[in-house]
Amino acid sequence: MILDSSLVLLGIALLLLGGDLLVRGACGLAVLLRVSPAVAGLTVVAAGTSMPELVVSVQSAWRGSPGLALGNVVGSNIFNIAVILGMTALVRPLSVPGTTIRLEWPVMALAALQLHLLARDGAMDRFEGACLLAAMVGFVAYLVWVARCAAHVEVAEFEQLSTLTGERSGAAAWRWNGFGTILGVGLLAGGSSALVGGASRIAGTLGVSETLIGLTIVAAGTSLPELTTSLVAAFRRRDEVAVANVVGSNIFNVFGIVGTTSLLQPILVPNELLARDHWWMLGLTVILFPILWSGRAIVRAEGGLLLGVYAVYFAALVVAR
């Protein structure tokens, strides 16, 4: 128990450091490439912070643990919307870019609905996984193309974001921002692995079911990179990164993680996920739209509402256990 608790603390420390490095490095690379930080949040940051979910889901599928594999994704998407956006908005109200409402939220909602429809037959096969991956590739390609054609990054923003060490431009900026991004992703993956490993063993000694572990401890643990990254971005007043990180992670979780996992190893879908947790994921996705639309911001009261919804969901899980 002492070793597992130490792993949890080590994981949290690595996640905090990795989140800071990833935000600063990815935003710097985005500006060096002349694409907006919001695009960085939807692509590099979202994919990087979703790496722990990918590792956990693939390993769980290979080991014959579908409750962990899919419960991790569904639980992470619920946690991302309700807890991460909720906590981040409580720290500081978040402004919402217009593209989040016009493009990214519809794609996130479509991904959640597509996952539910494909899983209704009780399994995710390789063909369905390939379709999800194709959707992910298409979305990222379109997003980058639009950003490269239309986005304009101010020089002042370039000077603010393009450095981790004081260099303003040139090869040094590319090296350090690239190194910071890669190191941040590595620290996030390592920290999440330590945290989930320790927490899962602690939970296992308490006799908690596999699916419940996937929906709660594993989902929350693998979502901590998104939480730390969004909080760091909010503190640095990069609202577009904080919001896009959550939306992009939810898209990547469905298209990228479920797609990759089911392509490598077909997954059986636990009945309780279809009957209960998929509907919570869809419901929170729908609730998020008017929150994003109203005032083009997520204010503290709305952040508190999201956290309250998660508290109700968590209570329902405990009662169902």
**Residue 160 pLDDT > 60, yes or no?**
no
Q: Judge whether 27 lies within some domain.
A: no
Q: Residue 52: which residues within 8 A CB-CB, separation 6 or more?
A: 188, 189, 192, 193, 196, 221, 222, 225
Q: Judge whether 6 lies within some domain.
A: no
Q: Judge whether 97 lies within some domain.
A: yes
71 or 1, higher pLDDT: 71
**Residue 180 pLDDT > 50, yes or no?**
yes
Average pLDDT estimate for 94-114: 89
Average pLDDT estimate for 149-166: 45
Look up the CATH number of the domain holding residue 141: 1.20.1420.30
For 121, phi then psi, to 5°, come to: -85, 5
The tens digit of pLDDT for each residue in 283-317 reads 999 999 999 998 888 999 999 999 999 999 999 98
Average pLDDT, the chain: 81
Q: Judge whether 123 lies within some domain.
A: yes
H or E segment at 298?
Answer: strand 297-298
Give me the pLDDT at residue 158, please: 40
**Residue 263 pLDDT > 70, yes or no?**
yes
Alpha carbon distance 222, 265 (integer Å)? 21
Q: What is the DSSP letter of 297?
A: E
Q: Judge whether 181 lies within some domain.
A: no
Average pLDDT estimate for 173-199: 80
Q: Judge whether 178 lies within some domain.
A: no
| pTM for this prediction | 0.80
> What confidence tier does 77 reach under pLDDT thresholds 50, 70, 90?
very high
115-124, 146-155, 196-205, 223-232 — which is least confidently predicted?
146-155
Average pLDDT estimate for 265-274: 88
CA distances from 22 to 143, 160, 250, 264, 270 (A): 20, 15, 18, 28, 34
Q: Which domain holds residue 84?
A: 37-150+207-320
218 closest CA partner among 20, 22, 57, 81: 57
Q: Judge whether 276 lies within some domain.
A: yes
Say if CB 253 and CB 81 are below 8 A apart. Answer: no
Total domains in the fold of the chain:
1
Alpha helix positions (H), the chain: 2-32, 37-40, 46-49, 51-62, 66-79, 85-91, 98-99, 105-119, 126-150, 155-161, 170-205, 210-213, 219-235, 239-252, 259-264, 271-272, 278-293, 300-320
Q: Judge whether 160 lies within some domain.
A: no
The tens digit of pLDDT for each residue in 19-68 reads 778 767 777 777 777 666 666 666 666 666 677 777 777 777 777 777 77
- The tokens of 142 are what? 């379109």
Q: What is the DSSP letter of 272?
A: H
Average pLDDT estimate for 168-177: 74
